[in-house]
Amino acid sequence: MTIYRSPTGDFQYFINILEKILSRIENNSNDIILCGDFNINYHINSSFKHSLDSLITSHGLPSIVTFPTRIQKNSKTIIDNIFINTLKFNNFSVYPSINGLSDHDAQCLIIYDILKDKPYINAPLIRKFDKHSSADFNNKLSYKLWDNVFSEKGVNTSFNNFLDI
């Protein structure tokens, strides 16, 4: 998951929303990698850093970036970060990459043996597009009733009715 937090945004709102998101995706997967521009300097101690650290660490995702990610003439800050489950992904490396595209350096994360514990078993679902599948799709559409799509005055309701079908 990637994040950008505006430096002028409401910090407590950010923390509340991030908590809801992490709680939701944590129930669906334990392979979370959280990264982005948090605009919280991990180079110094602050209440913002402490609050974010408390939240993220409570979900088992400690910070792994320890080098400056934004270097200016008079300052070096760690405002971009990566958080991973270091118990699950214990064989990794992270390093800066000066890309010249931004005033922030990129962070490169390499996780070794990522599929070691969980080999790929299920084949992906691939839709087949040919004349037979298109004809079958058109035939199935012909049995649907479209009155509630075309009879609506509002485009949003009409579109939602279409999606429901």
**Residues whose CB is less than 8 angstroms from the CB of residue 111 and which lie 6 or more positions away in sequence, other chains included:** 84, 89, 91, 92
What is this structure's pTM?
Answer: 0.66
Q: Are residues 94 and 135 in the same domain?
A: no
pLDDT at 124 over 80: no
pLDDT at 86 over 90: no
136 inside domain = yes
Q: What range defines the domain where residue 69 resides?
A: 2-111
Choice among 9-13, 76-80, 116-120, 141-145 with the minimum mean pLDDT: 116-120
Which whole number is the average pLDDT over 61-81? 91
Q: Are residues 104 and 146 in the same domain?
A: no
* Residue that wins the pLDDT comparison between 129 and 68: 68
The helix, strand and coil proportions of the chain, stated in percent and rounded to the nearest 5, come to 35, 20, 50
Q: Are residues 15 and 79 in the same domain?
A: yes
Q: Are residues 84 and 17 in the same domain?
A: yes
Q: Are residues 100 and 143 in the same domain?
A: no
* Residue that wins the pLDDT comparison between 145 and 11: 11
What total of structural domains would you count in the chain? 2
Q: Are residues 98 and 18 in the same domain?
A: yes
